[in-house]
Amino acid sequence: DTVITASTWLPPTHAMSVAQKEWCDLLAKNTSGKMKCNILPRGVSNPPGTYDAIKNGLADLSFTVHGYTPGRFVTTQMAEFPFLGDSAESISVAFDRIGRKNPAILQEHQGVKVITLFTHGPGMVMTTKGPVTKMEDLQGQKWRVGGGIINDITKALGMNATLKPATDNYELLSSGVMDGTLLPAESMESFKIDKLIKNVTTFPGGLYNTSFVMMMNQGKYDKLTAEEKKAVDAISGEVAARIVGRQWDKFDRRALGLMQANGITHTKADAKFVADVKGKVAPLEQDWAKRAEAKGLKNGSKVLADFRAEIAKAAK
Amino acid sequence: MIEALIGFGAIFALALLRVPLAFAMGLVGFGGIWVTRGFDPALASTAQVVYETGFAYTLSVIPLFILMGNFVARAGLAHELFQAAYAFLGHVRGGLAHATVAACAGFGAICGSSIATAATMSKVAYPSMKKLGYSDSLSTGVMAAGGTLGIMIPPSTIMVIYGIITETSIGRLFAAGIIPGLLTAALLMLSIVLITRRDAEHAPPGVRATWPERWRALRGIWGVAVLVVVVLGGIYGGFFTATEGAGFGAAGAFLFALGRRRLTWKILYQVLVESARTTAMLFTLLIAATIFANFVNFTTMPGDLKDWITHLGLSPTMIIVAMMAIYVVLGTVMEELTMVLLTIPLFFPIVTSLGFDPVWFGVLIVMIVQIGLISPPVGMNLFVLNALLPGVGLGTIFRGCWPFVLVMILVLGLLVAFPQLSLWLPSLLKV
Amino acid sequence: MKRLLELLCGLLSGVALFAIMALTFFDVLGRKFASNSIPGSLEMTELLMVVVIFGALPLVSERGEHVEFDSLDPYLPAWLRRAQAVLVHLLCAAVLLGLGWLMWRTGNQFLENGETTAQLRILKAPFIWGMGVLCALTGVIHLVMIGQPPVDKLEGEGVAL
Ligand code: NA
Ligand code: NA
C-alpha cells in the first residue's frame, strides 16, 4: 500500500482542506484503498514555505498560493486579474487547461509534480463602514490586501493599502486598524469576520483573484508504480481543478447566504465604477505580458485572451 | 508514539548534560525528521524554519516589547511609581511592602518581564525598606513576588511566546491577564497584612503623606500613565495592532528616556544591544521549538495522547488540575521558559481537544511561570535578588518567599475554578 | 579582535532594532494622520528582524546567555564540568557550522528562484547568506571558547521572563 503524506495550512473545515481530502478520498476509491493519504494534524510549514516543503519532500501533497513567494512565479499571475469570471470552477478548469497548453507555465513549477492549477472565487471588497460604490470610496479608506497582483491593482487604483497576512484580518478589522479588506466571499466565514463586515461590493467577474497550485513531491511521484501513476494522473488536471473549484464555489455560496442573514449590504458595482477600474488596471496586463515573456511564455497577451475565452467556454 | 517519546527523552538527556536547550531541541527535532522523513527533507525543513522564523513580521512584537521595558527601566520611571504608591500606602503597617507591590503592578503595566521588574524594584524599594528596619526576608519576598506581576499584567513576554507557539491572539491574552494580575496584587497585599500583623516589629508604618504631597507624587507618574494608555488604549481602541503597539510603546519609552535626559549614546547602545541579545536568545529557542514540533507532527503522538487521556475517564477539569499540579512541582526545580517550551506541544492539543479556551490556559501558564519564578530551590527571581543584593543570603530569600508561593497557588486555584476571571475582559473588548 | 566583533555585531543588531522601532512608529503615524502607510514597511521590518536576530546571535553565545539547565552544577566536580563545557562547545559549534552551510546553500536556492519581497522587490538571497555567515561565525566563537574558562555571568542578565 502507498501512503501519501498530505499537509494543509488551513483548518480542516476550510474549503481547501475539504477539497484536498475529497481528492485523497477519490484516489483511495479509484485504487480500492491501495493508495491513501495520511493528512497531518498540522501543516508542515507556514503558507509561504509550503511550496518548498513539498519540493523537498517534507510532505508529499499540499497546495499553496503562488503570490506567497514573490518573484518566483510570474506566468501564473494571469489568473489574478480583475473580471475573469464568477465561478472558481470555470476559472480553475480554464487555468489548468491553459497551464498545460503553455509549457512555460508548468516550467515555473520546478521540482514538483503539478496536480492542478486553480483559483478561488471572485475577489470582492469588504468594509466595516459605508458601502463602496465608486472609485473615491476605494481611495478614502484603509485596506488590508494579501500578496500577488492585487498589490499592483490597489496601487493602480490609488488605494491606501497595507500588505498583511489573511490570518490578521480579524484583528485588523475588529480593532479598526483597517476599514476594509479584499477577499473572496468564503473568507468572511473562514476568518470569522462575518460579524464585523457591514458592506460587500462585488464586481462582475470579481475585482481580483488568487492563483494556487496543488502539487505532489516529484520524488514521491517518480517512485510510484506505473499503475499508481496512472491513478494519480487520472484525477489530476481538470478533474482536480473541478473538485477544488466546486468546493470554493460551495463555500462562497454559503457565505453569501450568511451575508444576507447577517444583514450585510451587498452593493453591485455599476457600469461606471467597473469602467473606471478597467481603465486603471489595463496597463497592468501589458506589464504582465512583458514580464511573462521574459520568463519564456510566448505571446503573453494572446495567452491571456485564450484564457478568457477558455473561462467563457468552461462556464457554459 | 514511541519515536516522540524517545525524542522527549533525548532532549532531557542533552539538557541535563548542560547542552543549551535550543541546541538540544533543534538537534533532536532534526534527527527525528531525518528518521521519519529522510535526510534531505530534514535539511530543507530546518532551513525553512530558520528563515521563516527570521522573516516573520508578527514576531517583531517580541524585540519591541523587550525594548520598551528596557527603555522604561532606564528612564527612571520606577522611582516615581514607588514614590506615588508610598505616598498613598506608606502610613499603614507594612506600608513599604504594600507600596512595593503596587509599584510592581504599575511597572508591570509597561514592562513585560518579571525578572526586570523585580530587579528594578530592588534598586528602588529595598533601600527604603532596609532603612525602616524591614526584615530582609520580608522585603526580598515581596520584591520577588511583586516582580512576577510583570508577566501577568500586560505587556508580557511569556504571553507573546505562548501566543506565538499556540497561535492564540496576543491581544486577547493581554486583556485576559489584567484581572488575574490585579487579583494577585490584591491577595499579595492581603497576605502582607497578615504577615505584618504577626511580625509588626519588622514592618513599621511610615509617615502619613499629606494630600498635597500625594497629588504631587501622582503627578510624577504621568509618564507611566501616558505610556500605558497609549499602548493598551491604542491596541484596544483600534489605533494599531499588538505588534504595532509594541513599536509605538518602545518609541514612546525612548522619547521619555530622551526627554528625561537619561540617555547617553552609550546607554542607548547598551539598551539596544541588550534587547537584541535577549531577542536572539528567544528566537533561537523559538526556532528550535518549531523544528521539534514539526517532528512531533510526523509522529502519532498527538492522536495517541488524546486517546489515552480520553480513556483515563477523568473529567476535563480534573485533567487541568492534574496538569497544574505537575507544573507546580516541575516549576520548583526547572527554569520556567524551558518548562513551557517543552510541555506546550504536549499539553496544548489536549487542552484544546477538551474544549477549553486557549486564552484561559495561557493565563494559567503565566501563573504557573510566576509561581515557578519564586519557588525554591530554582527560582529566577530569587537568584536575581540574591545577585543584586549581595548582603542577603539565598536562605533568607527562600524563607521570605514561601508565603507568597502559597498565595499564588491559591490564585492559580481561583483561576482554574473561575475561568471568567480571565475570559470576561477579553470577551468585552473587541479583540 | 573580541572588542571589534562585539562592536560590529552590537551595532548591526542595535541599529536594526532601532530602525524597526522607528519604522513601526512612523508607519502607524503615517497611516493615521497622513492616511498613507510607508510602502513596504512590513517587509522592511521582516528583513531588519533577520539582522537583529542573527546579528546578536554571536553575542549571545559569547556571553553564554543561552538557556541552559545548570542546576546540577553545584554537585559536579570541577574537572567534570570542564570536560562537559568542552563537549557542549564542540556540539554547539558543529550545529552552528552545519547551519551556516545549510543557510548558505538555501541562499543560493533563493537566488536561483529569484525570490524577492512582495512590494519593494528586494532580493532575499543576501539576507539568507547573512544568516549563514553569522551562524558560522557563532560556531567559530564556540570553538574559540573551548580554550577559555567559562565566564561567571551576572544572574538575570539577558533573561526574558
Ligand atoms: Na507586564
Ligand atoms: Na522554580
For the stretch A252-267, pLDDT in tens is: 999 988 888 888 999 9
**Shortest CA distance from C152: residue in chain B:** B387
Identify which has the larger pLDDT, A263 or A162: A263
Q: Nearest by CB to C36, from A67, A160, A164: name it.
A: A160
Q: Which of A282-286, B266-270, C114-118 has the lowest mean pLDDT?
A: C114-118
Hunting for cell 489605533 — which residue is that? B239
Q: Which residues of A touch C117 (CB under 8 A)?
A: 70
- pLDDT category at C71 given cuts 50, 70, 90 is low
* pLDDT (tens digit per residue) in A129-146: 888 999 988 987 888 887
* pLDDT (tens digit per residue) in A196-221: 899 999 999 999 999 999 999 999 99
Ligand nearest to the backbone CA of B112? 1
Q: Is A44 on the interface with B (CB under 8 A)?
A: yes
Contacts of B196 (CB under 8 A, 6+ apart): B93, B94, B97, B138, B202, B203
Q: Is B148 on the interface with C (CB under 8 A)?
A: no
Give me the residues paired with residue A271 across strands. none
B259-273 per-residue burial string, b: 16 or more CB within 10 A, e: under 16: eeebbeeeebbebbb
Asked if residue B334 has pLDDT above 80, the reply is: no
Nearest CA to B86 out of B116, B131, B119 is that of: B131
The dihedral sign for the CA sequence B9, B12, B14, B20? positive
Asked if residue B233 has pLDDT above 60, the reply is: yes
Q: Which residues of B touch C88 (CB under 8 A)?
A: 17-20
What pLDDT, on a 0 to 100 scale, did the predictor assign at position C35? 66
- The residues on B that touch A, with CB distances below 8 Å, are 33, 37-38, 40-41, 43-45, 48, 52, 57-58, 169, 171, 235-242, 244, 293-294, 297-298, 302-303, 349, 430-431
Contacts of C142 (CB under 8 A, 6+ apart): C61, C89, C90, C92, C93, C96
Identify which has the larger pLDDT, B335 or A63: A63
State the Cα angle at B276 between B273 and B280, rounded to 5°: 135
Instruction: With CB atoms and an 8 Å threshold, state whether C37 touches A162.
Output: yes
- pLDDT category at C151 given cuts 50, 70, 90 is low
Count of C-beta atoms within a 10 Å radius of residue B375: 26
- pLDDT category at B394 given cuts 50, 70, 90 is confident
Identify residue A3 by its one-letter amino acid code. Answer: V
Q: Is C73 on the interface with A (CB under 8 A)?
A: no
What pLDDT, on a 0 to 100 scale, did the predictor assign at position C48? 96
- Strand order of the sheet with strand A142-145? A160-163, A142-145, A180-184, A123-127, A199-202, A265-268
Measure in Å the smallest separation between the Cα of B133 and chain C Cα atoms.
27
Q: Which residues of C touch A163 (CB under 8 A)?
A: 42-43, 118-119
What pLDDT, on a 0 to 100 scale, did the predictor assign at position A84? 95
Measure in Å the smallest separation between the Cα of A237 and chain C Cα atoms.
25
Asked if residue A120 has pLDDT above 80, the reply is: yes
Quick one: A222 exposed, middle or buried, by C-beta within 10 A (0-12, 13-18, 19+)? exposed
Hunting for cell 555571568 — which residue is that? C153
Give the Cα separation of B61 and B250 in Å (integer).
10
Identify which has the larger pLDDT, A19 or B341: A19
Average pLDDT estimate for B253-278: 90
What pLDDT, on a 0 to 100 scale, did the predictor assign at position A101? 94
Q: Which residues of C touch A160 (CB under 8 A)?
A: 31, 35-37
The dihedral sign for the CA sequence B116, B120, B125, B128? positive
Asked if residue B430 has pLDDT above 70, the reply is: no
Asked if residue C45 has pLDDT above 60, the reply is: yes
Q: Average pLDDT, whole number, for chain A?
A: 91
- pLDDT category at B183 given cuts 50, 70, 90 is very high
DSSP E strands, chain C: none
Measure in Å the smallest separation between the Cα of C79 and chain B Cα atoms.
14
Q: Nearest by CB to B276, from C17, C32, C159: name it.
A: C17
Q: Tally C-beta pairs within 8 A across B and C.
A: 212
What pLDDT, on a 0 to 100 scale, did the predictor assign at position B143? 95
Phi (first) and psi of residue B267, to 5 degrees: -65, -40
Q: Which residues of B touch C42 (CB under 8 A)?
A: 57
| Cα dihedral: B14, B16, B21, B26 (round 10) | 10
Q: Tally C-beta pairs within 8 A across A and C.
A: 36
Give the Cα separation of A214 and A216 in Å (integer).
7
Counting as contact any 3 or more CB pairs under 8 A, the partners of A are: B, C
Q: Which of A95-99, B139-143, B259-263, C86-90 has the lowest mean pLDDT?
A: B259-263
**Shortest CA distance from B279: residue in chain C:** C53
Q: Which residues of A touch B294 (CB under 8 A)?
A: 44, 58
What pLDDT, on a 0 to 100 scale, did the predictor assign at position C159? 61
What is the CB-side half-sphere exposure of residue B14 using CA atoms within 13 A?
A: 23
Ligand nearest to the backbone CA of B369? 2
| In B113-219, alpha helices (H) | 114-124, 126-131, 136-147, 149-152, 157-166, 170-198, 211-219
B394-419 per-residue burial string, b: 16 or more CB within 10 A, e: under 16: bebbbbbbebbbebbbebbeebbeeb
Contacts of B391 (CB under 8 A, 6+ apart): B136
Contacts of A56 (CB under 8 A, 6+ apart): A217, B40, B41, B43, B44, B45, B48
What pLDDT, on a 0 to 100 scale, did the predictor assign at position B307? 79
Q: Are C92 and A50 in contact (CB under 8 A)?
A: no
Asked if residue C149 has pLDDT above 70, the reply is: no
**Shortest CA distance from C34: residue in chain A:** A160
| Cα dihedral: B24, B25, B31, B35 (round 10) | 140
First-to-last alpha carbon distance for chain B, in angstroms, is 37
Give the Cα separation of C161 and C159 in Å (integer).
6
What pLDDT, on a 0 to 100 scale, did the predictor assign at position B166? 83
Instruction: With CB atoms and an 8 Å threshold, state whether C113 touches A67.
Output: no
Instruction: With CB atoms and an 8 Å threshold, state whether C24 touches B283.
Output: no
Percent of chain A exceeding pLDDT 70 equals 99
Q: Which of B249-258, B301-310, B363-372 has the lowest mean pLDDT?
A: B301-310
Ligand nearest to the backbone CA of B337? 2
- Cα-to-centroid distance, B62 and ligand 1 (Å): 13
Give the Cα separation of B278 and A61 in Å (integer).
38
What pLDDT, on a 0 to 100 scale, did the predictor assign at position A75? 95
Asked if residue A291 has pLDDT above 80, the reply is: yes
Ligand nearest to the backbone CA of B331? 2
Q: Is B168 on the interface with C (CB under 8 A)?
A: no
Asked if residue A271 has pLDDT above 90, the reply is: yes
State the Cα angle at A235 between A231 and A238, rounded to 5°: 150
Q: Is C116 on the interface with A (CB under 8 A)?
A: yes
- Cα-to-centroid distance, C154 and ligand 1 (Å): 23
Asked if residue B221 has pLDDT above 90, the reply is: no
Q: Nearest by CB to B115, from C63, C85, C156: name it.
A: C156
The dihedral sign for the CA sequence B92, B97, B100, B102? negative
Average pLDDT estimate for A69-78: 89
- Cα-to-centroid distance, A283 and ligand 2 (Å): 63
Average pLDDT estimate for C86-92: 93
Asked if residue C82 has pLDDT above 70, the reply is: yes
To which H or E segment does residue C82 belong?
Answer: helix C78-113
State the Cα angle at C31 between C28 and C32, rounded to 5°: 85
Phi (first) and psi of residue A296, to 5 degrees: 100, 0
- The cell for A247 is 468546493
Q: Which residues of C touch B282 (CB under 8 A)?
A: 160
Q: Which residues of B touch A55 (CB under 8 A)?
A: 44
- pLDDT category at C160 given cuts 50, 70, 90 is low
Q: Would you tell me which residues 41-60 of chain C have a C-beta closer than 8 angstroms to some C-beta of chain B?
A: 42-43, 45-47, 49-50, 52-57, 59-60
Nearest CA to B48 out of B290, B277, B285 is that of: B290
- Cα-to-centroid distance, B412 and ligand 2 (Å): 15
Asked if residue A303 has pLDDT above 90, the reply is: yes
Average pLDDT estimate for B178-198: 94
Ligand nearest to the backbone CA of B107? 1
**Shortest CA distance from A58: residue in chain B:** B41
Q: Average pLDDT, whole number, for chain B?
A: 88
Average pLDDT estimate for A274-295: 92
Q: Nearest by CB to A71, from C41, C42, C116: name it.
A: C116
Distance of CA C31 to the CA centre of its chain: 31
Q: Would you tell me which residues 93-132 of chain B have a C-beta closer than 8 angstroms to some C-beta of chain C?
A: 113-115, 119
Identify which has the larger pLDDT, B393 or A224: A224
What pLDDT, on a 0 to 100 scale, did the predictor assign at position B359? 95
Q: Tally C-beta pairs within 8 A across A and B.
A: 75
Radius of gyration of chain C (CA): 19
Instruction: With CB atoms and an 8 Å threshold, state whether B52 touches A177.
Output: no
Give counts: helices (H), strands (E), chain C. 4, 0
Contacts of B415 (CB under 8 A, 6+ apart): B180, B360, B363, B364, B367, B421, B422
Give the Cα separation of A96 and C77 in Å (integer).
68
For an interface test with C, give the residue of A50, A64, A69 to mutate (most C CBs within 10 A).
Answer: A69
Q: Which residues of B touch C127 (CB under 8 A)?
A: 54-55
Write the CA distances from C11 to C54, C63, C94, C130, integer angstroms.
Answer: 12, 16, 27, 15
- pLDDT category at A172 given cuts 50, 70, 90 is confident
What ranges do the domains of chain B cover? 2-428
Average pLDDT estimate for B15-22: 86
- pLDDT category at A117 given cuts 50, 70, 90 is very high
Instruction: With CB atoms and an 8 Å threshold, state whether B274 touches C105.
Output: no
Instruction: With CB atoms and an 8 Å threshold, state whether C113 touches A69.
Output: yes
Average pLDDT estimate for A8-15: 88
- pLDDT category at A313 given cuts 50, 70, 90 is very high
Q: How large is the ipTM?
A: 0.80
Measure in Å the smallest separation between the Cα of A69 and chain C Cα atoms.
6
Average pLDDT estimate for B109-124: 88
Q: Which of A300-304, B202-206, C32-36, C101-105 has the lowest mean pLDDT?
A: C32-36
Measure in Å the smallest separation between the Cα of B127 and chain C Cα atoms.
20
3-state secondary structure chain A: CEEEEECCCCCCCCHHHHHHHHHHHHHHHHCCCCEEEEECCCCCCCHHHHHHHHHCCCCCEEEEEHHHCCCCCCHHHHHHCCCCCCCHHHHHHHHHHHHHHCHHHHHCCCCEEEEEEEECCCEEEEECCCCCCCHHHHHCCEEEECCCCHHHHHHHCCCEEEECCHHHHHHHHHCCCCCEEEEECCHHHHCCCCCCCCEEEECCCCCCCCEEEEEEEHHHHHHCCHHHHHHHHHCCCHHHHHHHHHHHHHHHHHHHHHHHHCCCEEEECCHHHHHHHHHHHHHHHHHHHHHHHHCCCCCHHHHHHHHHHHHHHHHC
Nearest CA to B431 out of B299, B243, B237 is that of: B237
Strands A160-163, A142-145: pairing kind: parallel
* pLDDT (tens digit per residue) in C94-127: 999 999 999 999 999 989 888 888 778 899 999 9
- pLDDT category at B197 given cuts 50, 70, 90 is confident
Quick one: A48 exposed, middle or buried, by C-beta within 10 A (0-12, 13-18, 19+)? buried
Write the CA distances from C94 to A124, A281, C137, C138, integer angstroms.
Answer: 51, 53, 12, 10
* pLDDT (tens digit per residue) in A18-56: 999 999 999 999 999 999 999 988 888 878 889 989 998
Q: Average pLDDT, whole number, for chain C?
A: 86
What ranges do the domains of chain C cover? 2-146
Residue A205 Ramachandran class (φ > 0 left, ψ -120 to 50 alpha, else beta): left
* Cis-peptide, bond into residue B155, ω within 30° of zero: yes
Give the Cα separation of B187 and A34 in Å (integer).
63
Percent of chain A exceeding pLDDT 90 equals 67
- Cα-to-centroid distance, B286 and ligand 2 (Å): 21
- The cell for B122 is 530592588
Q: Are C64 and C153 in contact (CB under 8 A)?
A: yes
Q: What is the DSSP letter of C151?
A: P
